[in-house]
Structure 1
Amino acid sequence: MFVSAFLAATLLPLGSEAVLLALLYADYPVIPLIITATAGNVGGSLVNYWLGWRFGRAGIMRIAKVPEHRLVKAEHQFRLWGRWSLCLAWVPVIGDPLTFIAGILRISPVWFVVLVTAGKASRYIIISQLAA
């Protein structure tokens, strides 16, 4: 579960929800699964955050081949919605870029971990409840 959730939080096109559901249906305990999935997913997001922090805008454009205008737009949107948008880091398509932008903009690591964890844990809790 941890590895699946970790990789799903990177730019790899993977999801962890199917693994969570499979393990839930195999009668694995819910609370440890939610904790493990959340820890893995937040860990993957921390990698994105660190990459953004470490390489900055120019590095991310070079490494990830992101056009500057897209990065500028993403930074503008992030500043518009503020750090609270990190609660949406679990959302497909927008979540991974949010975590990179947070690193580029040097959002407080404490706020990053708190908000990303809250959003990702909520998602896993809701999925688990819907599966029950």
Structure 2
Amino acid sequence: MMYAGLFLSALASATLLPGSSEAALLALLATGNGDPALLVAAATAGNVAGSLLTWGLGRYVLHLSEHPWFPVRPTDYTRAAGWFRRYGIWLLLFSWVPVVGDPLTLAAGAARVRLLPFLLLVSLGKAGRYLAIFAAFAAWDG
């Protein structure tokens, strides 16, 4: 159950909804609940799944972005799309960065980035972030 909860927390965090999967991961690590490798895997999988949903928004429903309920403000999307045009697909390695990561995955969908390269780059970036969090925790916890 804890793995599913962490997965859902990470998924929500990557779908433009507020959330803190990092805090959830740290709480589980601190309490000794679960296998650390499986916790990192669950957080990574959930966060990548959330980014995939955001990519789908960009690919298929960006034309609805002017509606007030759309989860990305037009100014954030315009900024992310500009960065994406300037730096290209490799920018997806930074999809884990708070505030800018979600608009980047939306821009990747709108730019019609193919699914496999998208998943590879986003997975590398997000797994790297969770591994760094685990490594910092392990170093602190001794």
Q: TM-score, normalised by structure 1?
A: 0.91
Pick from 55, 74, 84 the counterpart of residue 90 of structure 2.
84
Determine the C-alpha separation between the residues in 1 that align with 2:79 and 2:89.
16
1:1-132, aligned counterparts within 5 Å? 1-27=6-32, 28-56=34-62, 58-62=63-67, 63-64=70-71, 66-67=73-74, 70-132=76-138
In 2, are the aligned partners of 1:6 and 1:44 still within 8 Å (CA)? yes
Determine the C-alpha separation between the residues in 2 that align with 1:41 and 1:75.
21
The verdict on how the C-alpha distance between 1:70 and 1:35 changes in structure 2, with shifts beyond 3 A counting, is closer
Determine the C-alpha separation between the residues in 1 that align with 2:76 and 2:36.
39
**RMSD (Å) for aligned C-alpha atoms:** 1.4
Give structure 1 stretches of 5+ with no counterpart.
none
In 2, are the aligned partners of 1:52 and 1:60 still within 8 Å (CA)? no
Give structure 2 stretches of 5+ with no counterpart.
1-5
Number of residue-to-residue matches in the alignment:
130
2:23 aligned partner, one-letter code: A
